[in-house]
Chain A
C-alpha cells in the first residue's frame, strides 16, 4: 500500500477528532501486492511465505469468480474490502447490549449463552474476560506432553516453518479455485494442528479454546496433519450466531491423514444470516478438503450449517491411500432469505477406497438450498465403493431445494449407491403430533430433529445437544 494512502487515512481519522495511533493496524480497502507485503510483514513471516502469497495473488488476478453455483448475490467488489484490520476500536463498536439487534440477543438467550459471552459475541466494546484463558493454558500443557502442536497458523509459520512448508497448499493448491487463491494471498488467521506418529490427541480440539480465536478473521487458513496411526477430533465454530463486520469470508481448511490416521472434523457454522430481509449477512465461500494420503487413513467431515446469507462450501476427501475412507455428514438449514449451495466431493484414487455421504437439507421461509456432490472413481481405484444418501425437507411453500449429483466412474469394479428423497414437512405429521397434545413448534422441532438424526449422532456429544437447540432456534416461526 502506498504511504500516501496511509497518511490520508491517518489524516482523515485525525480530522474526525479521534486520537490516532500512528502504528495503526488497519489497512484501508484495496488489494495489491503492497497489501500482501504489509500483511506478511505484520505477521513477521519469512520470505518464502511472502513469495507464496504473492504467487497466489498473481494467479488469482488471472482467475474468474465462479458462477456455476445456484446462488444469487450482487457482485463483490474486492477492492472495497479491507484485508487487514485489527479488532475494531472500542468507540466504533456498540457501547452496550442496548445497541445490538434485539433478535440476536433473543437468540443468545434461547441458546443459553452466558451473559458475559453474549456481549463479546455481539461485538460490544467490553473487556471480554473469557474463562477459557486459564482453561487453555491447562490444555496447552497437556497437549505438549502428548507431542501435539496446536497453535495459530501465524505462530506455526514462525515456529514450525518446515512442517508448514511441507504440507501447506498440498491438499488445496493455491490456484485450486478463485476463493482459495484469494485466501492463499491474504489469509490472516486460522489454526495449525500436528499430531505425531502413533499419538491419539488427548482431547477434542476446539477453536473456542484457542486464546487468539476471539476475533476470527475473514480469511481463515487451517491446516491439520495426522502422521501414521495418529488421531484427532477437531471442532470448529460455535453455536452462538457471531456478528462480524466483514461480509466476505473465504476460508481454506486442509487435512492430511497418513497411514492409519483418523481425522474427525466437526463444524457448527452459525454466522449472522442478516436481518429479516437478509441485509448484513455473511457471504461464506469456503474450501475444505482432506487427503487420505496414507493407506487405511480415514477422514470424516460433519457439518451443521445454519448461518450466513450465502454458503458455498464442499468439504471433500481425496482418497489416495489404499483402503482409505472418506465420510461426509451434513445438515444444512436455511430460513428467511438465506441461500446455500453445499455438498461434497469424494475422489477415489486408491484401491478399495470407500466413501459415505449423508446430506440433509432443510429449507424454510424464502430460502433456497442446493446439494451438489461429486463421486469420482479413478481407473486405478479398483473395488471402490460409495454410498450417498441425500434428503431434502421443505417447510412451507416459498422455499426451494435442488440436488445436483455428479458421478464420474472410471472403472467397472466400483459400487455406487445413491438414495435421494425430497419431502415437505408433512402436514399429516404435524397434525399427528399436535393431535397428541404437542404444540406446533415442538412438533416441527421433533420432526426436523428426527430427520437430522443420522447426522447429529456423528457429532461429538456436547455439540450434538447444542446443534439441536440451534436447529430449533433457526427454524422458529418457520411454520404457521
Chain B
C-alpha cells in the first residue's frame, strides 16, 4: 500500500531523514519509535505534504501513485490521513462544518455526491458516542479551548468519519491520561480492518499496550535501524534506545 524508498529529507538545510525505507501493507498496524529528534514526526509530515520539508532523494508511493507529486488535499482524498500531535485551533469554524467539508471534499474527489444531511448526522453522532464525546463538540469551534485530551479524541473522531485507507497518528498518546488513552486506543482499534493500514508514531511503549502493532520500527538518526514485532517495543522499554543504537552501529 505505502512504499517509502531510500527517503532523504532536509529541513532548513539539515538532513533529518537519511535514507529511510519502509513498506506498509493493507491490514497492518505499524509503529515507529525512536528517541527525540530521530525524525519520527518528519516522516508522517512529509507523507502528508507539509511545507518546509525538502525531499532530496528517494520516493514515496501510495497504491502505485507518486505521493510527492500530489497536492496536500489530493493525498487526503487518496486516503492518506494524518492525525496531528498538536491539532490546530480554527476560531469561528464549527467542528461539524470542518467534518462535513472534509468528508464532502473527499467524496467529490471520488466522484460521489454530498452525503445527505440526515445520513451525515447519524454517522457523526454514532462516532461521537464511540469516542465518548458530547454532542456540543460539534457546535464548538475546531479545537478552540479543547483540552489536550479533547483535541486528540477529536482527531480520532475525524478518522472515524473520514475512514482513510492509511491512518497516520503522530504522537497521539502525548498528553493523555490513562482514561483518555483507552478511549483513543479503542477508536484506533476500531479502525483496524483488512483494507486499512495504520501508522503510529510514538515515543513511548505505553500506547502499544493498547494498540498492539504488527510491526515495530526503531528510527534512529534518520534511518530505521531495527524492525521487529510488538516484543521489540517491550525490549526498548526495558533497555532504552541506546542499546539499539549501539547494536546497530
Least Cβ–Cβ distance between B181 and chain A, in angstroms: 23
Which positions 157-180 of chain B face chain A at CB distance < 8 Å?
Answer: 158, 162
Residue contact A437 to B91, C-beta cutoff 8 Å:
no
With beta carbons under 8 angstroms apart, the residue of B71, B141, B162 that contacts A436 is: B162
* Known contacts A438-B73, A439-B105, A442-B105; is-contact A433 B98 (Cβ 8 Å): yes
Question: With A442-B105, A446-B101, A452-B92 given, is the CB distance from A437 to B73 under 8 Å?
Answer: yes
CB atoms of A437 and B162 under 8 A apart: yes
Asked whether, in the complex, the Cβ of B73 is within 8 Å of the Cβ of A440, the reply is: yes
Residues of chain A within 8 A of B73, CB atoms compared? 434-440
Among A136-144, A406-414, A422-430, the stretch in contact with B: A422-430
Task: Tell me the nearest residue of chain B to A360, going by C-beta.
Answer: B92
- In chain A, residues 21-46, which have Cβ atoms closer than 8 Å to a Cβ of chain B? none
Most buried by B among A426, A438, A451, A452: A438
Within 8 A of B (CB), among A441-466: 442, 446-447, 449-454
A438 CA / B72 CA spacing, docked (Å) = 9
Within 8 A of B (CB), among A224-278: none
**Known contacts being A435-B82, A437-B106, is A450 close to B87, with CB within 8 Å?**
no
Residue on A with the closest CB to B99?
A436
B51 touches A436 (CB 8 A): no
Interface size on A, as a range, is: 20 to 34
Decide: A451 and B92 in contact? CB cutoff 8 A.
yes
Assess whether B226 is interfacial by the CB under 8 Å rule: no
Q: Are A434 and B92 in contact (CB under 8 A)?
A: no
Q: When each residue 42-58 of chain B gets 1 if its CB lies under 8 Å from chain A and 0 otherwise, what string results?
A: 00000011110000000
A454 to B141, CA, bound (A): 12
The answer on a CB contact under 8 Å between B141 and A450 is yes
Distance A442 CA – B73 CA, assembled complex (angstroms): 11
Q: Which residues of B contact A437 (CB under 8 A)?
A: 73, 76-77, 102, 105-106, 109, 162
A433 with B90: in contact, given A446-B97, A446-B101, A450-B141 (CB under 8 Å)? yes
On whether A450 and B101 interact (CB within 8 A), knowing A431-B72, A432-B84, A434-B73, the answer reads no
CB distance from B133 to the nearest CB of A (A): 18
Q: How many angstroms between the C-alpha atoms of A439 and B81 in the bound complex?
A: 15
Judging by beta carbons under 8 Å apart, are B48 and A435 in contact?
yes
Residues of A within 8 A of B238 (CB): none
Name which residue of chain A comes closest to B52, CB basis: A427
Contact A446/B48 with A435-B76, A435-B82 known, Cβ cut-off 8 Å: no
- A447, B49: Cα distance in complex, Å: 20
B123 on the A face (CB < 8 A): no
B87 near A432: Cβ-Cβ < 8 Å: yes
Query: Within the assembled complex, what's the spacing in Å between the Cα atoms of A442 and B106?
Result: 13
Task: Note all chain B residues with C-beta closer than 8 A to A451.
Answer: 91-92
When the two chains form the complex, which single residue of A436, A442, A449, A454 contacts B76, counting CB atoms closer than 8 Å? Answer: A436
Determine the distance from Cα of A262 to Cα of B51 in the docked complex, in whole angstroms: 50
One of A426, A428, A435, A452 near B49 (C-beta < 8 A): A435
- Let me know if A436 and B92 touch, CB within 8 A: no
* Contact call A450/B92, Cβ cutoff below 8 A: yes
The distance from the CB of B194 to the nearest CB of chain A, in whole angstroms, is 23
Q: Is B248 positioned at the interface, with any CB of A under 8 Å from its CB?
A: no
Q: State whether A434 touches B76 (Cβ < 8 A).
A: yes
Contact indicator per residue, chain B 97-115, by CB within 8 Å of chain A (1) or not (0): 1100110011001000000
B88–A449 CB distance below 8 A = no
The yes or no answer to B11 lying at the interface (CB within 8 A) is no
What is the CB-to-nearest-CB distance from B82 to chain A, in angstroms, rounded to a whole number? 5
A431 to B82, CA, bound (A): 11
A438 and B50: CB pair below 8 A?
no
* Bound CA span A434–B101, Å: 11
Given contacts A431-B50, A432-B84, A450-B141, contact A438 B101 (CB under 8 A): yes
Docked CA distance A446–B88 (Å): 14
Q: Mark A345-366, 1 if CB is under 8 A from B, else 0.
A: 0000000000000000000000
Q: How far is the CA of A436 from the CA of B98 in the complex (A)?
A: 9
Which residues does chain B contribute within 8 Å of A446, judged by CB atoms?
A: 90, 93, 97-98, 101
Task: Check B93 against A449 for contact (C-beta < 8 Å).
Answer: yes
Contact in complex: B92, A449 (CB < 8 Å): yes
Q: Taking the nearest CB of chain A, how far is it from the CB of B109, in angstroms? A: 7
Once the chains are docked, how many angstroms separate the CA of A15 from the CA of B199?
82
Q: Assess whether B81 is in contact with A435, with CB atoms less than 8 Å apart.
A: yes
B77 surroundings in chain A (CB, below 8 A): 437
In the complex, what distance in Å separates the CA atom of A446 from the CA atom of B87? 17
**What residues of chain B lie closer than 8 Å to A452, measured between beta carbons?**
92
Task: Give 16 A-B pairs besides A435-B73, A446-B97 with Cβ atoms closer than 8 angstroms.
Answer: A429-B89, A433-B98, A435-B50, A435-B76, A436-B76, A436-B98, A436-B101, A437-B105, A437-B106, A437-B109, A437-B162, A438-B105, A439-B73, A439-B105, A446-B90, A453-B92
- A–B complex contacts, Cβ < 8 Å, 30 sampled: A429-B88, A431-B48, A431-B51, A431-B72, A432-B87, A432-B88, A434-B71, A434-B76, A435-B72, A435-B75, A435-B81, A435-B82, A436-B81, A436-B101, A436-B162, A437-B73, A437-B77, A437-B102, A437-B106, A438-B73, A438-B101, A440-B71, A440-B72, A442-B105, A446-B97, A447-B90, A447-B93, A450-B92, A451-B91, A452-B92
Measured CB to CB, the residues of A under 8 A from B are 426-429, 431-440, 442, 446-447, 449-454
Q: Spell out B's residues near A (CB within 8 Å).
A: 48-51, 71-73, 75-77, 81-82, 84, 87-93, 97-98, 101-102, 105-106, 109, 141, 158, 162
